[in-house]
Chains A and B, each alone.
Chain A
Amino acid sequence: MNLFGGTISKLEKGLSYATLKNKAITQNIANVDTPNYKTKEVSFQDIFNEAKESSISANRTDARHYDFSIEIGTSGVYSNENFRTRPNGNAVNMDAEQAKLAENTIYYNALIERLNSKFSTLNTVVKGGR
């Protein structure tokens, strides 16, 4: 039996995603005056949700088969090319970036809260309810 269950590893994936997204947002804000810079976005949420909803399992009968396991490293950063740009080719929307920044911070804090309460639950169990 697994003491920590799947919750903590899922929360960890969420935290890793939030960190990466924070890096992308920071990069976007830093390049608000860079000509021809295109907004960078992180597409982990989709992958994360998929992994959560359906845990796919497959048997590899040949070494050349693709591995079905989803790694944390699969989070993708992509540039949003077809976006309305300013005259200098820069596509950073500062209002949207600030909103995303606030949202991401709250999301991250929420994950930490969950993680902490999970640990405190385990702590209660370990101490036998005392």
Chain B
Amino acid sequence: MSIFHSMNTTASALTAQRLRMDVISSNIANVDTTRAKQVNGEWEPYRKKSITLKENEGQFSSFLNMAMGKTVKAGVGNGVKVTSIKEDTETPFKLVFDPTHPDANEDGYVQMSNVDLLKEMVDLISASRSYEANITAFNANKSMLTKALEIGKG
């Protein structure tokens, strides 16, 4: 429980939201990618990626202290952490009719990535708003700490 605890919490959230934005950027950039990786010798289109967030509940020591009955302020937590970046294997690839495309099959259809631009844009705005909210929290925190330094100066 240091005085910069809240700032570290905010920092973890900012990092997570930034990573989320990076992943969204990657999705948008690869919306038309038909050759992302090779599976069994055949090229597969890009699969939409998304991150999973989890509450960072604190270190081992705090749990140990709590279990041993020492007076520890019940866990406020340590911010948020990214547990994984997962590929979307459920949404099917989009089929576009384009016989001239090098990756077209016998019927003239091309498999496109399963990224939905609309969803990505909504997600991007959500991430950017969360980022701003955390910045507000950080500034409030900073002003409180600065104020604390003024104790006894008057």
Contact indicator B133/A77 (Cβ below 8 Å): no
Contact of A45 with B by CB under 8 A: no
Contact indicator B152/A29 (Cβ below 8 Å): no
**Contact status of A109 and B147, CB under 8 A, knowing A25-B137, A26-B137, A34-B53:** yes
**Contact status of A31 and B13, CB under 8 A, knowing A71-B71, A73-B73, A94-B133:** yes
Chain A CB count within 10 A is highest, among B5, B72, B74, for B74
Residues of chain A within 8 A of B5, CB atoms compared = 23
Contact of A98 with B by CB under 8 A: yes
Docked pose: A25 CA to B136 CA in angstroms: 12
Residues of chain A within 8 A of B13, CB atoms compared = 29-31
Contact of B141 with A by CB under 8 A: yes
Closest A residue by C-beta to B5: A23
The smallest beta-carbon distance between A14 and chain B, in angstroms, is: 13
Quick one: which of A18, A20, A29, A104 contacts B134, CB cutoff 8 A?
A: A29
Docked pose: A6 CA to B73 CA in angstroms: 24
Q: Within residues 1 to 39 of chain B, which ones have a CB less than 8 A from any CB in chain A?
A: 3, 5-6, 9-10, 12-13, 16-17, 20
Number of B positions contacting A (CB below 8 A): 41
Q: Within residues 121 to 146 of chain B, which ones have a CB less than 8 A from any CB in chain A?
A: 126-127, 130, 133-134, 136-137, 140-141, 143-144
Quick one: which of A18, A29, A75 contacts B133, CB cutoff 8 A?
A: A29
Docked pose: A27 CA to B126 CA in angstroms: 18
Which of A47-55, A57-65, A115-123 is the contact stretch? A115-123
Chain B CB count within 10 A is highest, among A34, A94, A108, A115, for A34
Contact indicator B55/A115 (Cβ below 8 Å): no
Number of A positions contacting B (CB below 8 A): 40
Residues of chain B within 8 A of A77, CB atoms compared = 73-76
Residues of chain B within 8 A of A98, CB atoms compared = 133, 136
Closest B residue by C-beta to A34: B53
Q: Within residues 100 to 115 of chain A, which ones have a CB less than 8 A from any CB in chain B?
A: 101-102, 104-105, 108-109, 112, 115
Contact indicator A105/B134 (Cβ below 8 Å): no
Closest B residue by C-beta to A120: B154
Chain A CB count within 10 A is highest, among B52, B134, B140, for B140
Docked pose: A120 CA to B52 CA in angstroms: 52
Q: Which 6 A-B pairs have the closest CB atoms?
A: A30-B13, A116-B154, A26-B6, A73-B71, A77-B74, A23-B76
16 CB < 8 A contacts A-B: A23-B5, A23-B9, A23-B76, A26-B9, A29-B133, A29-B134, A31-B13, A31-B80, A32-B133, A33-B127, A35-B53, A73-B71, A101-B136, A104-B140, A108-B144, A116-B150
